[in-house]
Chain A
Amino acid sequence: GAVVSQHPSWVICKSGTSVKIECRSLDFQATTMFWYRQFPKQSLMLMATSNEGSKATYEQGVEKDKFLINHASLTLSTLTVTSAHPEDSSFYICSASYGAGLNQPQHFGDGTRLSIL
């Protein structure tokens, strides 16, 4: 149980294109999901916390207008990279916690590799 599905797994597109990434909790409801970004051979950096039915909370330095997050249901959060440029190329990973409370592990999607030409 507690499966998180992320789609697509790989995107290659031209500069200026907007790209939408979906994160779904398949067998549980997630009021909160998280979006991380990972550069090659580096750790994960939190971009934003996605809250169902309300605005996302962005980390300092993350452009809200560049990375649009929508969490319209308890099982789906989307990240849209608007007008993507080569510097937005990265590995994007979402996660969700199964169950309430602080001492819960997070379950991760398989990530989306975004390459902007």
Chain B
Amino acid sequence: SQQGEEDPQALSIQEGENATMNCSYKTSINNLQWYRQNSGRGLVHLILIRSNEREKHSGRLRVTLDTSKKSSSLLITASRAADTASYFCATGRIDSGYALNFGKGTSLLVTP
């Protein structure tokens, strides 16, 4: 079953602007992960944030986690056309060898 729900479902911005995507989940987690998927391709792992962490950075990416609200956000700063992709949050399922439950994803379009 799907665990996460992202919003917005679609986001269109111009190069140089920041993009913020949100994710909510339902059950307790050990970590939350963000992935990126270019059209017709597999997923690329972006960042993993553990349940005892509140914020994590990686390059132009900033992820926050609020376990009290069961929500996370992904911020991409100074976006580029190459950031155009779908972004998914995912949480681990302990009952199936740590398979992932994915949210519905946010489709990001960055125009030059």
Question: Using a CB–CB distance below 8 Å, which chain A residues touch chain B?
Answer: 4, 6, 32, 34, 41-46, 49, 51, 57, 59, 91, 93, 95, 97, 102-111, 113
Contacts and interface: CB of A to CB of B under 8 A. Distances in A.
Contacts, number: 71
B99 interface: yes
28 contacts: A32-B98, A34-B97, A34-B100, A43-B88, A43-B103, A43-B104, A44-B43, A44-B88, A46-B93, A46-B96, A46-B99, A46-B100, A46-B101, A49-B97, A49-B99, A57-B96, A57-B97, A102-B92, A102-B98, A103-B30, A104-B98, A105-B45, A106-B45, A107-B45, A108-B42, A108-B45, A111-B40, A113-B40
Interface residues of B, number: 28
Contact of B102 (A43, A49, A91, A105): A43
A95 to B, nearest CB: 7
Contacts of A95: 42-43, 100
Interface secondary structure of A, over-half rule: strand
Interface of B: 2, 30-31, 33, 35, 40-45, 48, 50, 88, 92-94, 96-105, 107
